[in-house]
Structure formats: C-alpha cells, structure tokens
Structure 1
C-alpha cells in the first residue's frame, strides 16, 4: 500500500511538471507569434506608402534624400533601432544592393554596429571624401546674388545637410543664411537678431516681396507715362 501511494504521488508530480512545461512552451510560442505580428505590423507602417530605393547613384543629394526619407518614417512609427538597417537595406537596388550583399557580414560584425554606423558606411562607399569636400565648399561659397529668395533658401537647405558640423545650431544657420543675402537685404535686416533659420528667412522673404511689389508698381507707372507721352506725340503729329 505504502509503495503504491508513493508511486501514485510520483506520477502526480511528474504530470504536474509536464503540464507546467507545456504551459511554458505554449506561452513562449504565443510570445514568438506576438513578436512576429508586431514586427509585421511595424513593417506595414514603414511601408504604408511606396518605399524609396537607392541604386548607388554618384550623387550625394540622392543618397541623403534616401536616408532622410527613412529617418522620417522611423521617427513617425517609433521604429526600434535593431530593425532600421534591415528595412533600409531591403530597398537597396543595383550597385548598392551588390555592395551590401558582399559586405553585409563584415559591416554587421563591426563593434557597436547600428543604424548610425550603417549610414556612415554607405556614405563612405557612395559619397567619397572628395565629393564631401566639394559640397562643403559649395555651401561655404553660397550667395543669393541673382536668385529669388525662395530659390536661395531651397539651395541653402539642400547644401546645409552636407555641412552640419559648420551650422550645427539654428542660430549658426540663421547667421550663415543672412550673410549670403544681397547687400540690400542685409542692410534692411541690420541690427535684428534671429534665433532660427526660418525667422531670418521669413523676414527676408517679406522684405524681398515688398521690394518686388515696389519695382512692379514703378514699372507700371513708367509704362503708363510712356504710353501717355506716345499718345501726346501722336496727337501733335496729327494736328500738324
């Protein structure tokens, strides 16, 4: 009897352990499925509109636009850092895709590899130092001159991305932008302090629009006066 009772207790304990292990396995399976669903949902959010592709074009603007688009999407959906490289490399094509296939293992093995290091490596490959230097010089020498103020602003934004170390703050961007305006606009802004790029651009755009309207009005007045003079000459000639 005693032996039978012991055997029964051992069997009950074993069944209990088996049930616990089964419950743990089921929970792990549910967690894995849930994680997969979350990953899938996140991927759908990132790809909810047509994903930009990059083919390794030798134009740093194209590369920076491609990286910027993914930065915006990652920020919008709260993408975890460990998913970012995979999502971005999914959109590599042509030469860029071949480069990644050949170098992925080596690059991923780098200490502290992450999305930031991936950007550094892709820039090293497709945005070499001589191009970086060229873009920095272009930004450094940028002047409004005969451009519209809107064209100057657009060009400034485009080139400033390649010289972030020189205009690291909004105040530095504002100063650089103001120094490239026409002398006439700089004189009109004299004494004003701007904290952001958009502040100085907004003020300059307003002054520029006023000046253009003034020129247009003067041109219309001159045109009317010329037409009046021509009319008077014509009348005099007919009278003679």
Structure 2
C-alpha cells in the first residue's frame, strides 16, 4: 500500500539524537522547564517524530535529578503505563516535579509559574488542587486530603500552616534531644573549662 503524499512514519532514535537536543537536569526554575518542553517539542516537529515515541525519546534527555525523578516515576506507575504514556500525560507529571527541601512559598511559586505554560492541561480547580498536592513532600501529604479542599488557595494555606507546625515540632525535638544528650562540642568545651579551672587550683565542676 502506498503512503499518502507528505505522510511520514516518524523518525528513528538515531535521527532524533542527531538534532541539537536540550538537556534538562531538574532545575525548578519554571522558565527553564518551559524552555526545555518547548525545545523538545520543536525537535519532535522537525523530525516528524511519531507521537508514540514522544515520551521515550523526550525522557532520554533527562539527566541528574530529573532522570532520578523519572526513574522513580516509572517504578511508581509501572513499566507498561510508562510505555503507553502520552506526551500530554508526561507533561502533567512533569509539572509536579519538585526538589526536596523547598519551602511551601517556593513550591507554590514554582507551581503557579508552571501552570502558566501547562494551562491547557490543568483547567479545573480540582486538577490544580490535585497537582499542587502531589508537589508536596510526603510529610505534608500524610496529613492532607485533596478532596477536602474546594480551592487552590485553601490547600496552599493549609500547607503553610503545616509547615509552621512541622518547624515547631522539629525545634521541640531538637531541643529535647539536646537536653538529653548535649553535643560532643558542648561536652568538650565543658571538659576543657574544667581542666582550666583545675589548673588554677580551683574545683572543676563538670
């Protein structure tokens, strides 16, 4: 059977890799994320890449923390689900990519910026809440249920409240641990002070 005029069967991975491909290392800067997606999609178009190869080819350009994230995501959803994932579905996962240790304000800023270039994928308040929830670390998700919130603002405010509470808890735990087991540095200073007092003929109080 003859191919229709202008019809292409896509490109091989070798042909795809022959293009000047952008690498994404996991930077949380939304502009870098947007630029990477845009550049990769540009290569898809120029090479007439088949849509079924978008995710396999595109994710090959993830390095560092971004590659670690994708490897974990594949384990989480299963190899078959990752194999049949569409590019739009990948982008929905991609906007949830986060780095450990970010503050809630930082995560919120990143999420809102990412929404601007994925607005065609996240259109309802329910979706915004779901994707924001998934950007949070496990210590927050453990105490929060996405379905309980009606607006994105509500879940953001709850996350900020939990951040304050978790910080207080960490400070209490650290203080308790310090009271029960002083740091080696503190012990060393106490011993050193005692030796100095002894040397002067006084009584060392340790």
TM-score band, normalised by shorter chain: 0.3 to 0.5
- The structure, 1 or 2, with the larger RCO (C-alpha pairs under 8 Å, 6+ apart) is 2
Q: How high is the TM-score relative to the length of structure 1?
A: 0.39
Q: Which has the larger radius of gyration?
A: 1
Higher helix share: 1
Q: How high is the TM-score relative to the length of structure 2?
A: 0.44
